[in-house]
Amino acid sequence: MWRALGRGGITAALYASGHPAGPVELDRLGALLAALDARGDNGVTLSVLVQTASALPLLANAPGERCATARARVLAGDARVALAATDEGAPGSDLTALTTRVAVRGGQLALDGGKRWITNALGAGYLLVLARQRPGRHFTGFSWVLVPADTPGVTVTPADTSLLARSGTGHLRFDGVRLTPDHMVGRPGRALADFARHMATERIAGAYWAVALTSRVLRATQDRLAHRVADGRPLWQNPVVRRDFAACLVRVTQLRALLDTVTRRVTADRDLAWAGLLKAAVGLEADAVLSRCAELQGADGMAADGAHRIRAEAAVLGIGGGATDLMLAQVADRAETFLDVLGAHP
């Protein structure tokens, strides 16, 4: 799929200038994610989302021929890139505690450590690795390193899960990896600042996917209810079933409205707090809707394409890029800001 998107010019068309240094065209990215979701392969959708919304933009402004070559190959679909941030030595949401380290030794970069649950790890040509350069938790102590996946000392193992099968999710080990200095991406110490700058795009992309996925499951659930008969009439005619389905539909409609609002605010004002609020809403609403759909589908929900498996795979929406509880804590920190907006008159 990634090769087809690249060679068809679809990936390049997601960026304003046809180059990932340009702003992401969010409506185009949303349309692409909806089209991918319609195929029903959540692993592929996740793989594309991470590369288009995060990895490619991070590579976009990196100077040097080596980064430019990697960027061109990924954009053209000739290679995939894995964004390796979640660390084996720290909770996924606490990036400043990571233990993967990069140091300059004898004129070379020395990389050691490990990453876990990395999308696109399997089959990636390049690994974009977040590593510590200096001790301590200050945000200027980290850098990105571009690691060709076939570099000696790199070990890739598949994650022990049957979920999101085609996402290429795996674990990475770096043992005595040596690279030339031009494998450093961007200025040293700028990794977390650059990551934060692109995080809003990934969170908006995740919301687009969540709306598409929950809408797809709602449609499948309604179809099952319309054709499943109990006591001589379709379950769709049961008032309690209709009420619960309608409540799910309201949740998804509200999520879509919030997505549109947040997209405007982030685009116009660069207020990234709103992207965090959207991320929290995605984690809460997607799970609530998919959970109720799984119940409404009954035994059918246990099928390979049923709501139970989809719900399990969609849990990544509340984990990747910031766990829901962490997002809610950040929303609470900005409570006054959000309340002021809610109370403002047009």
- For position 331, what pLDDT does the model report? 96
Of the three residues 55, 75, 95, the one that is the final residue of a domain is 75
Length of the chain: 346
Q: What is the tally of structural domains in the chain?
A: 3
**pLDDT category, 253, cuts 50, 70, 90?**
very high
Instruction: Encode pLDDT of 283-292 as tens digits.
Output: 999 999 999 9
Query: Are both 179 and 201 inside the same structural domain?
Result: no
Query: Are both 199 and 335 inside the same structural domain?
Result: yes
Instruction: Encode pLDDT of 214-235 as tens digits.
Output: 999 999 999 999 999 988 999 9
Residue 138 clears pLDDT 90, i.e. is over it: no
Between CA 198 and CA 277 the distance in angstroms is 16
Query: Are both 198 and 333 inside the same structural domain?
Result: yes
At 153, is the secondary structure helix, strand, or coil?
coil
At 315, is the secondary structure helix, strand, or coil?
helix
Span 310-322, average pLDDT: 94
CB 117 within 8 A of CB 171: yes
Query: What is the token pair recorded at 279?
Result: 């991320």
Instruction: Encode pLDDT of 329-342 as tens digits.
Output: 999 999 999 999 88
CB 313 within 8 A of CB 163: yes
Span 190-205, average pLDDT: 90
Q: Which residues contact 155 (CB under 8 A, 6 or more apart)?
A: 172, 173, 175
Domain limits at 16? 2-75
Span 67-80, average pLDDT: 96
Span 163-167, average pLDDT: 96
Residue 322 to residues 154, 159, 260: CA-CA distances in angstroms? Answer: 26, 20, 21
Window from 140-144, 184-188, 308-312, 335-339 with minimum mean pLDDT: 184-188
Query: Are both 177 and 87 inside the same structural domain?
Result: yes
Query: Are both 183 and 118 inside the same structural domain?
Result: yes
CATH number, domain with residue 339 = 1.20.140.10
Cβ neighbours of 88 (radius 10 Å): 15
Of the three residues 54, 75, 96, the one that is the final residue of a domain is 75
Alpha helices, DSSP H only, in the chain? 2-7, 26-37, 42-50, 56-60, 65-75, 191-227, 239-269, 273-296, 307-314, 324-333, 335-343
CB 289 within 8 A of CB 217: yes
Query: Are both 66 and 108 inside the same structural domain?
Result: no
- For position 345, what pLDDT does the model report? 62
Residue 136 clears pLDDT 90, i.e. is over it: no
**pLDDT category, 8, cuts 50, 70, 90?**
very high
Span 315-323, average pLDDT: 92
Of the three residues 160, 187, 214, the one that is the final residue of a domain is 187
- CA 124 from chain centre, in angstroms, equals 16
pTM for the full model? 0.94
CB 265 within 8 A of CB 274: yes
Query: Are both 329 and 197 inside the same structural domain?
Result: yes
Q: Between these two residues, 208 and 320, which has the higher pLDDT value?
A: 208
**24-37: b or e for each residue (b if 16 or more CB lie within 10 Å)?**
bebeebbebbbebb
Long-range CB contacts (within 8 A, 24+) of 299-302: 300/224, 300/228
Query: Are both 338 and 197 inside the same structural domain?
Result: yes
Query: Are both 137 and 27 inside the same structural domain?
Result: no
- For position 34, what pLDDT does the model report? 98
Query: Are both 256 and 165 inside the same structural domain?
Result: no
Query: Are both 138 and 156 inside the same structural domain?
Result: yes
Between CA 58 and CA 247 the distance in angstroms is 39
At 310, is the secondary structure helix, strand, or coil?
helix
Instruction: Encode pLDDT of 45-69 as tens digits.
Output: 999 999 999 999 999 878 889 999 9
Question: Nearest Cα to 36, choosing from 58, 17, 14, 19?
Answer: 14
DSSP state of 38: T
Query: What is the token pair recorded at 144?
Result: 């990105």
Query: Are both 316 and 202 inside the same structural domain?
Result: yes
Span 4-31, average pLDDT: 92
The dihedral region occupied by 54, where left means phi > 0, alpha psi between -120 and 50, and beta the remainder, is alpha
